[in-house]
């Protein structure tokens, strides 16, 4: 009979008063049939709202609160968590997500049990459904992207590297720190670093969480600009060649996916998406300047 793997859950939180209490409560209710939860470490990154107060409302020994007095950025907070974690597995979560079911963490852990050499496992995220016009436009974009990723099959693993939910084995996180020059896309940097250093990476589609897209143009374009520019930058930083074994989502693949989904989507949503994407691409190419401490998308935290 094999011994359960030990797990620490790490969360960096900045002004997450609307979401953090619900997330922590749902994590405490997660089933633990294949792992032992040692602790949930929440680092408040200089929050100026009631994030800390909301965490302190939950009187559970497993929840460890670290209060940062000033904002240093998510990357520094994650490096702190890497340094002080000793569990077999470290699960990293965004603070503004909703667990899809009570076995999300178990699904991540399964990947490590099935393949003992697995070092990094990425979960899956989906947008919270909404009837708001802007939300319908951005959701169409997310669905188009997921369709394109799915078309690559097993070669689409690079695009499964999402920041909102992932798990790292001790053999990986004990040797891993995010460099200061990585100012955005720490999730895909995590992926590229693992591949470049011959760590095994896996995907757990049933480890599902929900998130909310920004609900205004300014925040959405700013968030998309980080997404658009970070991948190529971080690939180059770990010296991973473009012709690596993973597939590439070309403009043709995206166009095919969009046209397939457009058949079942009202025309005004498709047109809205094209306008929004064009604006994001132009902004990312000509105006966007990465910051070590990026501006938050406040509208994505109001569930």
Cα→Cα distances 187→34, 161, 252, Å? 25, 6, 25
Q: Is the confidence at residue 244, as pLDDT, over 90?
A: no
The model's pLDDT over 179-198, given as tens digits with 9 standing for 90+, comes to 988 988 999 999 999 999 99
> What's the CA gap between 214 and 138, in Å, rounded?
9
| 123, two tokens | 């979960």
Instruction: Assign 246 a pLDDT band (cuts: 50, 70, 90).
Output: confident
The dihedral sign for the CA sequence 134, 17, 102, 3: positive
Name the least confident of 76-85, 137-146, 195-204, 290-299. Answer: 290-299
The mean predicted confidence, pLDDT, of the chain is 93
Q: Is the confidence at residue 5, as pLDDT, over 50?
A: yes
Residues 6 or more apart from 161 whose CB is under 8 A from it? 122, 187, 188, 190, 191, 201
Contact 20, 51 (CB under 8 A): yes
Instruction: Give the pLDDT confidence score for residue 242 in this predicted structure.
Output: 61
More confident residue, 120 or 246: 120
Instruction: Give the pLDDT confidence score for residue 163 in this predicted structure.
Output: 78
What percentage of the chain exceeds 70 in pLDDT?
97
The model's pLDDT over 37-79, given as tens digits with 9 standing for 90+, comes to 999 999 999 999 999 999 999 999 999 999 999 999 999 999 9
> What's the CA gap between 11 and 164, in Å, rounded?
10
> What's the CA gap between 14 and 68, in Å, rounded?
10
Query: Among the CATH numbers 3.40.50.300, 3.30.2020.30, 3.40.50.10860, 3.90.550.10, which is that of 5-301?
Result: 3.90.550.10
């Amino acid at each position: 009979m094999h011994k359960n793997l030990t797990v620490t859950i790490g969360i960096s939180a900045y002004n997450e008063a609307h979401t953090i209490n619900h997330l922590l409560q749902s994590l405490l209710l997660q089933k633990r049939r294949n792992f032992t939860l040692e602790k949930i470490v929440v680092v408040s990154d200089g929050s100026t709202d009631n994030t800390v107060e909301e965490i302190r409302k939950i009187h559970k020994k497993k929840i460890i609160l670290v209060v940062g007095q000033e904002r240093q950025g998510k990357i520094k907070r994650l490096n702190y968590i890497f340094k002080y974690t000793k569990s077999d597995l470290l699960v990293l979560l965004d603070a503004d997500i909703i667990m899809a079911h009570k076995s999300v963490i178990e699904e991540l852990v399964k990947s490590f049990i099935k393949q003992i050499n697995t070092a990094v496992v990425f979960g899956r995220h989906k947008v919270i459904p909404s009837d708001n016009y802007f939300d319908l436009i951005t959701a169409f974009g997310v669905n188009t992207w997921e369709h394109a990723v799915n078309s690559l099959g097993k070669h689409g693993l690079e695009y499964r590297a999402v920041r909102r939910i992932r798990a790292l084995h001790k053999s990986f996180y004990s040797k891993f720190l995010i460099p200061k020059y990585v100012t955005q896309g720490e999730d895909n940097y995590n992926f590229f670093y693992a591949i470049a250093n011959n760590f095994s990476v896996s995907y757990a589609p049933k480890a599902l969480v929900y998130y909310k897209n920004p609900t205004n143009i300014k925040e959405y374009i700013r968030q998309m600009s980080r997404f658009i520019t970070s991948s190529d930058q971080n690939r180059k930083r770990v010296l991973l060649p473009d012709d690596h074994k993973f597939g590439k989502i070309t403009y043709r693949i995206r166009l095919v996916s969009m046209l397939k989904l457009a058949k079942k989507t009202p025309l005004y949503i498709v047109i809205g998406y094209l306008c929004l994407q064009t604006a994001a691409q132009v902004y990312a190419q000509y105006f966007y300047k990465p910051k070590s401490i990026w501006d938050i998308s406040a509208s994505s935290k109001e569930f």
